[in-house]
Structure 1
Amino acid sequence: MSITSRLVRYADLIPCKNAFVDTRTPGSDAKENFSLIGPGVSENPNQHVHIPEPHGFNIGAARQPGGCLNSQHSHETAEVFVVHSGHWAITFGAEAGADGEVEVAPGDVYSVPTQMFRGFRKLDEGVGFLWVALGRDDPGRVQWAPKVFDLARQYGLVLLKGGRLVDTTVGETVPPGAELEEAPNAELVRRLATPSADKLASCAVRLADMRGNPRSPLAGPGVEECPVITPAETRDGFAPGPITGWWPHGFNLRLLRVETGARIPPHVRDEEEVIFVHRGTLEVTVDGEAVDMAAGDTFTTPKGATRSFRALSSDGVLAYVVRGGDQAGAVRFVGQRAAAE
C-alpha cells in the first residue's frame, strides 16, 4: 500500500457543516468540522473520517471565517488546539467568556483541561484553521452548555441520548421511543467549573517561546525538536513540560524546526506518529517511498517503519508531531548514523 494513503492534504479535506447541535445557531452556522484520524466527537453519522485506523488518539480540525464561534461545551478527554491560521479567542465558562478567555495566534498551542466548558471564536477577518488532537480512540461525547440546547431547538436540531443529531429541517424525525439529550442541570454545571486563571495559563505555549531540546535524538545541524506537551519523562530524552496537564493526554506533542536542506536521518519508532506541517514543505520518506507535505497537510507514519525527513522550502519547515503515549519511546537510527553511534 502506498504511503499516500496515509496522507491527508489540506486541499482534499472533506468538511461536515452540520456536525454538532449548535451548527444552526447564528454565529456558528458557517463553521466546518473535520475528522482526519479517528471518528472524533461529531454528532452527525455522516461525518467523513479520512483515516479510520485507531491511533490511541484522534486528529480533527475546525475551519471558520471571521466572527464565527463554536459554542460552549465540555470534553471527556484531552482537547489540544494547534493554531494553523488566524487569530482566535478560546472562551471559558458555561456562558462564552464568563470565566475569561485567552487569545491564540498562528503556531500557538493551547490544551484545554477536561471537564470544563470552553468554546472558541475566530477573531480576525478571513478563514482560519485549527488543527486539533483529542485523547483516546473513543473521545466520548460533547457536553453542551444549557443555552446551546435552547438555541438548537429554535433552529430545528435535536440531540438524542448517545450523541446522535436529528435535523428536522431536512425531514428527519425523532425515532419512536428515543430519549432526548437534556441540558445539564445546575449541579453538573457546578462540577464543570472553570479552573483558576493561573492553572489555565499553564495550558498555553506560544510559538515564540518554543525552544529546542538539545537532548533530543533528532537534534542536529539545522534541526530542533521542541517540547510542547510532555506529560511524563520520556525514553527519548524529554523532561515533563512545558504542558504536563493535571488531566490525562495519552500523547506527546512536539514542534520540529528544520532549516532549508537539513535532514533528519532514517530512524524507526514503535509508537504512533502523526505529522502536521504548519509552515514550509517537508519531504517524508518511509521505507524508501517519498512524499512531499505542504502547509496544512497531515501524515501518519506506520509504526515500526523507517522514516526520514528533509526540509525543501526556502524558509525551512515548522511541523507539529503527535507521538502516542505519555512516555514517547526511544528512537532507533538505521544506516550511517546508527553505525556512528
Structure 2
Amino acid sequence: MTPDIVRYGELRPCKTAFIDAHTPGSDRKENFTIIGGGVSESADQFVHITTPHGFNIGAAGQPPKCRNSLHSHRTAEVFFVLSGRWRFFWGRHGDAGEVVLEEGDIIDIPTGIFRGFENIGTDYAMIMAILGGDDAGGGVIWAPQVIEDAADHGLVLGANGKLYDTKRGERLPAGVGPMPKLTEAELADYPEMSPMQVVGWGVRRYWDMVALAKDKPVKVIGATGIIRDRPGFEVDLITRSSATETRHRHDRPSVLMPAKGHWKLVWEGGETVLAPGDTASVPGGLDHAAWPSMEGEAALYHVVATDDPAGPSAIG
C-alpha cells in the first residue's frame, strides 16, 4: 500500500463545472475535484482520486473579483484558505452576513443556507473544500436568481443534474426537463442566519488554531472540536510543535493537506515531501507519519471520516 498523492502543479481544472460558468463575474473560476466526484455538473470535470473516503475533497481557484454564486448543499461544506483573501457571504440574496478569511483560516458553513464566496485579493487564489458524504448529498441547490441569470447566458441545468450549453447548440434530452427552481414556500426553509450565528459557530482563525496546537494537534471540527460539528468527518490542525515522527494508522483512508511549509510523509517502504496545495490520501491500515521537513512556519490539515451521518450540520 502507498499513499495517493495529487500535486498542486498537477491539478486539472474545469472551467465549466457549474451553472454560472458563463455568468459575468463568475465566468473565470476553476473547479478542482481531488477526491470523490464532488458536485460538479459538467461531464468535463476530471476526478483525480475516485476511492471512496466518506467525504469529498475539492478546490476552487479564482482570479481577483471572481465569485462563486449563491448555492446550498445537503451535507457539510468546509473551506480553508490556501492562498489569497476571500469574502464569504450568505443569505437568500447574499446580504444576510459576510466574513473575510485569510490564509489558513477555516469555515464550516451550516447546511440549509445559501452561500457564496469571492476572491477579494490582488492575485489568483485558491480555497480547499471538504464536502460531507461520498456523493456529497447528490448535488448543488442554486438560488433561483442564479438559474435565471445562467439561462440568460446560455446555460441550462437539467433535472438530471447535468449542464447544457445552448450557445453550443445543446438541448435538454427528450424526457428531461429543466431543474425546477425553488418555490417561495421552499425558500422559506432556508434561514437568514446572522453573522453571530455563522461566524461565531463556524469560523476559526489560523493563528488562534496554531496557538491551540502548541503541544498536540488541535481538533478543529468534530464532536470534541473547537467547532462542535459531526458532519461525517473530523478535521485536525497539526503544527511544527505538535507533529511527531511516531508512525500511526487509521482503519479508513485519511487525508493530509499542508497549509504552510513542507512536510515529510513517510510510510513503510517509501517517503515523499508535501507542499501547500498538495493532497495525500493515506490508505486505511498503513502505518505513516508526517512532520516538517524544512525550517519555518508549518501547518497541515488532517481529515478522516467518522461513523456519524454525513447529513445536515446543525449550529450548536
TM-score range, shorter chain: over 0.9
Q: Is the 8 A contact 1:252 1:326 kept in 2?
A: no
| Distance across 2 between alignment mates of 1:197 and 1:158 | 33
Secondary structure in 2 aligned to 1:202? helix
| Distance across 2 between alignment mates of 1:243 and 1:303 | 25
Q: Is the 8 A contact 1:18 1:44 kept in 2?
A: yes
Q: Which of 50, 53, 58 is equivalent to 1:52?
A: 50
Q: Which of 9, 12, 23 is equivalent to 2:10?
A: 12
**Is it true that 1:22 corresponds to 2:56 in the alignment?**
no
**Is it true that 1:129 corresponds to 2:126 in the alignment?**
yes
Secondary structure in 1 aligned to 2:82? strand
- 2:259 is aligned with what amino acid? H
Q: Which segments of 5 or more consecutive residues in structure 2 lack a partner in the other structure?
A: 309-316
Secondary structure in 2 aligned to 1:85? coil
| Distance across 1 between alignment mates of 2:79 and 2:291 | 25
Q: Which of 70, 74, 81 is equivalent to 2:79?
A: 81
What per-residue deviation string (whole Å, max 9, x for no partner) do you get for residues 86-106 of structure 1? 11111111212x201111110
| Distance across 2 between alignment mates of 1:143 and 1:2 | 37
Q: What's 1:31 paired with?
A: 29
CA deviation after TM superposition for structure 1 residue 213, in Å:
5.7
What per-residue deviation string (whole Å, max 9, x for no partner) do you get for residues 133-188 of structure 1? 00000112111011111111111101001311111222322112211112211112
| The 10-residue stretch of structure 1 (173-182 or 102-111) with the greater mean CA deviation from structure 2 | 173-182
Q: What's 2:312 paired with?
A: none
**Is it true that 1:196 corresponds to 2:178 in the alignment?**
no
Q: What's 2:217 paired with?
A: 225
CA deviation after TM superposition for structure 1 residue 85, in Å:
0.6
Q: What's 2:65 paired with?
A: 67
**Is it true that 1:242 corresponds to 2:226 in the alignment?**
yes
What per-residue deviation string (whole Å, max 9, x for no partner) do you get for residues 292-328 of structure 1? 111110001110001022311211421101111168x
- 1:196 is aligned with what amino acid? S
Secondary structure in 2 aligned to 1:34? strand
Q: Which of 247, 257, 271 is equivalent to 1:266?
A: 247
Q: Is the 8 A contact 2:77 2:130 kept in 1?
A: yes
Change (3 A) 1:212 1:270: farther
**Is it true that 1:289 corresponds to 2:270 in the alignment?**
yes
CA deviation after TM superposition for structure 1 residue 195, in Å:
2.6
| Distance across 1 between alignment mates of 2:191 and 2:131 | 20
Q: Which of 99, 102, 113 is equivalent to 2:99?
A: 102
Q: What's 2:110 paired with?
A: 113
Higher RCO, Cα 8 Å, sep 6+: 2
Secondary structure in 2 aligned to 1:44? coil
What per-residue deviation string (whole Å, max 9, x for no partner) do you get for residues 4-26 of structure 1? xx000000000100000011110
Return structure 1 stretches of 4+ with deviation > 6 angstroms: none
Normalised by the length of structure 1, the TM-score is: 0.86
Q: What's 1:335 paired with?
A: none
| Distance across 2 between alignment mates of 1:263 and 1:242 | 22
Q: Is the 8 A contact 1:27 1:68 kept in 2?
A: yes
What per-residue deviation string (whole Å, max 9, x for no partner) do you get for residues 193-241 of structure 1? 1233332121111011114468xxxx5xxxx3112101x2xxxxxxx13
Q: What's 1:307 paired with?
A: 288
Q: Which segments of 5 or more consecutive residues in structure 1 lack a partner in the other structure?
A: 233-239, 328-341
Q: What's 2:239 paired with?
A: 257
What per-residue deviation string (whole Å, max 9, x for no partner) do you get for residues 228-286 of structure 1? 101x2xxxxxxx131113xx4101111110259x7421122213210001111111112
Q: Is the 8 A contact 1:16 1:32 kept in 2?
A: yes
Q: Is the 8 A contact 2:91 2:193 kept in 1?
A: no
| Distance across 1 between alignment mates of 2:119 and 2:73 | 20
Q: Is the 8 A contact 1:212 1:227 kept in 2?
A: no
RMSD over aligned Cα atoms: 1.7
| Distance across 2 between alignment mates of 1:212 and 1:275 | 19
| Distance across 2 between alignment mates of 1:95 and 1:21 | 17
- 1:202 is aligned with what amino acid? W
Residue pairs, 1:141-152, within 5 angstroms: 141-152=139-150
Q: Is the 8 A contact 2:255 2:302 kept in 1?
A: yes
- 1:48 is aligned with what amino acid? F
| Distance across 1 between alignment mates of 2:116 and 2:213 | 32
